[in-house]
Amino acid sequence: MTAAIIDGKAIAAMLRAKVASEVARLKSDHGVTPGLAVVLVGTDPASEVYVRSKSKAVIEAGMAPCDHKLPATTSEQEVLALVARLNADPAVSGILVQLPLPPQIDAQKVIAAIDPLKDVDGFHPINVGRLSSGLPALTPCTPAGCVILAKSVRGSLAGLDAVVIGRSNIVGKPVAQLLLAENATVTIAHSKTRDLPGLCRRADILVAAIGKSEFVRGDWIKPGATVIDVGINRVAGEGGKARIVGDVAFDEAKAVAGAITPVPGGVGPMTIACLMLNTVRAACALKGVKAEI
Ligand code: NDP
């Protein structure tokens, strides 16, 4: 069997187009322009790249960007004061503080200071709690993207066995909660899990969020399974040129799985698309308009 390749780029582009038409409707029917505030502290090169692509996507969707670039020496108090201003600003529908933050700033404190209605990353304890209680919530973007990709292959996930490798607050735990909300039977694996290959072999849906290049081998995969590879790992390629690989040995897995996400071009593009979706939904909730997306 050769797996179908799940085209995250195309699915993300479709989602972004839907967001753009919802934004157009909000503007014309309700006079509302969703705005996303992105706060970047310091000059981490990877974070700068993410922030640039987020701002580009905001503009493409017809929303209002509001970027705040602060020096690496910014104090926690200054970041908290900025978050308070953004919470109070009616032009701002979503607030995203780019992580990681410099060591003098407590990221948890900053996340907890964001208005949960504007928490488009879905990391605020209120949104985390609402998600695990099965209540409507702003949900983390990469996990939401994983579930959209799995559903693009399977339709309903009800009753399927899902294994999530990784239990971080950013990916593993929320992806497991979202799969549970889709009525999958979910197992979360981590570094202390016994017989990980055996566990993975039972999975109809396998989500790998480990951060170790090509860790999941082909013979760990149940024939026909849907494999969602979240990993982004930089390795030396031919001629010493860096290339990006996932947490799954792609060529081996492709020979066994029913469908698989490539890296790059799978989960990655979904993160920003889901951020745009969260921003437009947050704008609707804040303005009391029923979202049509
Ligand atoms: P973390 O390092 O926070 O978590 C990694 C998880 O993997 C931990 O729960 C850890 O277990 C588990 N793990 C590590 N080693 C093993 C092992 N040998 N066997 C089983 N489990 C293991 O990473 P993140 O969740 O933040 O990210 C995971 C990957 O996803 C990274 O490659 C990251 O770059 C990528 N990523 C991609 C995004 C995208 O947009 N596509 C967005 C966010 C992340 P334990 O808890 O026991 O230590």
Which CATH number belongs to the domain containing residue 233 in this structure?
3.40.50.720
172 and 219, same domain (yes or no): yes
User: What is the distance in A from the centroid of ligand 1 to the CA of 211?
Assistant: 4
In a domain, 115, yes or no: yes
159 and 199, same domain (yes or no): yes
User: What is the distance in A from the centroid of ligand 1 to the CA of 6?
Assistant: 21
In the chain, how long is the greatest CA-to-CA distance?
Answer: 56
In a domain, 133, yes or no: no
In a domain, 129, yes or no: no
Annotated catalytic residues are 54, 98, 121
- Is the predicted pLDDT of residue 1 greater than 80, yes or no? no
Averaged confidence pLDDT in the chain: 97
257 and 276, same domain (yes or no): no
What pLDDT score does 240 carry?
84
Task: Tell me the average pLDDT across 30-42.
Answer: 98
**Which atom of ligand 1 lies closest to the CA of 172?**
25
Give the whole-angstrom CA distance, residue 179 versus residue 245: 24
What pLDDT score does 214 carry?
98
Mutate to test the pocket of ligand 1, among 98, 171, 213 (most ligand atoms within 8 A of CB): 171
Residue environment code for 35-60, b if the CB has 16+ CB neighbours within 10 A, otherwise e: bbbbbbbbebeebeebbeebeebbee
Cα→Cα distances 128→21, 44, 139, 281, Å: 29, 27, 8, 17
In a domain, 7, yes or no: no
Q: What is the pLDDT of residues 92-139, one digit of tens each?
A: 999 999 999 999 999 999 999 999 999 999 999 999 999 999 999 999
- Is the predicted pLDDT of residue 16 greater than 90, yes or no? yes
Q: What is the pLDDT of residues 229-240, one digit of tens each?
A: 999 999 998 888
What pLDDT score does 239 carry?
87
Closest CA to 165 of 225, 252, 242: 225
> Using CB atoms within 10 A of its CB, is residue 139 exposed (0-12), middle (13-18) or buried (19+)?
buried
In a domain, 15, yes or no: no
What pLDDT score does 194 carry?
98
Number of other CB atoms surrounding residue 194 within 10 Å: 7
Mutate to test the pocket of ligand 1, among 191, 217, 229, 271 (most ligand atoms within 8 A of CB): 191
- Is the predicted pLDDT of residue 76 greater than 80, yes or no? yes
In a domain, 252, yes or no: yes
In a domain, 226, yes or no: yes
215 and 254, same domain (yes or no): yes
What pLDDT score does 259 carry?
98
Sign of CA dihedral 227, 190, 106, 43: negative
The parent domain of residue 60 ranges over 28-121+270-287
70 and 159, same domain (yes or no): no
115 and 228, same domain (yes or no): no
* Residues within a 6 A CB radius of ligand 1: 142, 165-168, 170-172, 189-193, 196, 209-212, 230-233, 267-268, 271
In a domain, 250, yes or no: yes
Task: Tell me the average pLDDT across 237-259.
Answer: 95
256 and 162, same domain (yes or no): yes
68 and 178, same domain (yes or no): no
Nearest CA owner, ligand 1 atom 5: 210
Q: What is the pLDDT of residues 196-228, one digit of tens each?
A: 999 999 999 999 999 999 999 999 999 999 999
Total domain count, the chain: 2
What pLDDT score does 117 carry?
98
Report the predicted TM-score, pTM, of the whole model to 2 decimal places. 0.97
Residue 163: phi and psi, rounded to 5, are -115, 125
221 and 157, same domain (yes or no): yes
What pLDDT score does 114 carry?
98
219 and 256, same domain (yes or no): yes
176 and 117, same domain (yes or no): no
User: What is the distance in A from the centroid of ligand 1 to the CA of 84?
Assistant: 31
